[in-house]
Amino acid sequence: MKQHPPASVLCFGEVLWDILPDGMKPGGAPMNVAYHLHRNGIESDLITKVGADALGDKLLTELASSDLPTARCQRDQSRPTGTVVAKMDADQEMSYEIVAPVAWDFIAWEDGYRAAAAAADAVVFGSLVMRSGVSRRTLEKLLDAARYRVFDVNLRAPHYSREDIFSALGKTELLKLNQHELGVITAWTGKEPSADEAGNVARLREKFPVKGVIVTRGKDGATFYEGSQRYHHPAYRVRVADTVVAGDAFLAAFLAARFRGLDIPACLEAASVLGAFVATRKGACPEYHPREGLAFLTPEDLTAFLTR
């Protein structure tokens, strides 16, 4: 992957409100990735859609306050802004309803998107936005124009299908997924998933033209596979407040470091640090101001960053 300074990334997909027992918070993986890319010095843009309603107005205000561009955030006159409703049962277990249909299910193709995708150093997308035909067709056109495609898998039943995942994998250069998702997709290929993670990754790469694969394992760290190479980084031990969006921060930091030309071990270290930091904070997008991006912090700085 060539570096084209200044690096820029186009994030496509859902932006929404997480409606939690303790209040509402802006969310959506594309927004989270764009936010952390921006914090790490990478120009980021969003293609999404919100409703022409009060929640949509408030969400656009939140984006603007985070210095994220909103010019490509469409407005839907008939469908509401996306929400995810969290509920707690009598046993204190949380469940989440990803409401459908909502505005981001209907992201329409617009003039200029092809040029934007072609100009960006990468297009980042997830699996959730493919649940609707309108947004899926827009994504397909973006991927056809993109120079480098980053697929962050996020399997949330019943909002995905094998056919859509396979179609996206056929156009993916960099894939990020967790161990469970790797097992599910491996089984879809007709191969029985095994305890050998590297073998499961190899089976995927036999079927799809994916160049790099990141497998995240939560507290057990993450591993990157490319060609015959395998790199692992352990997870940092921190006091966890919220793990839901740590993966979005992880991906953003990995990309930011890679666009700066760092080697894979350094990219994994930067990603692990930011993922750990976000896990210590409530909410997807805590404020922070890393000096020149996390990829350039010294080991002493890393410790200070995680403990301050």
Q: Is residue 89 part of a domain?
A: no
Tens of pLDDT, residues 116-132: 999 999 999 999 999 99
**CATH number of 270's domain:** 3.40.1190.20
- Domain contains 82: no
Domain-located, residue 99: no
How does residue 212 score in pLDDT terms, banded at 50, 70 and 90?
very high
Whether residue 199 lies inside any domain: the answer is yes
- Would you state the structure tokens that stand for residue 73, as one six-digit string? 């955030």
pTM above 0.85, yes or no: yes
Structural domain of residue 156, as residue ranges? 8-15+29-48+107-300
Residue 236 within a domain = yes
Number of domains the chain is built from:
1
pLDDT of 78-122, one tens digit each? 999 999 997 766 665 667 899 999 999 999 999 999 999 999 999
In a domain, 134, yes or no: yes
The answer to the question of residue 277 being in a domain is: yes
Note whether residue 114 is domain-resident: yes
Confidence of residue 214 (pLDDT cuts 50, 70, 90): very high
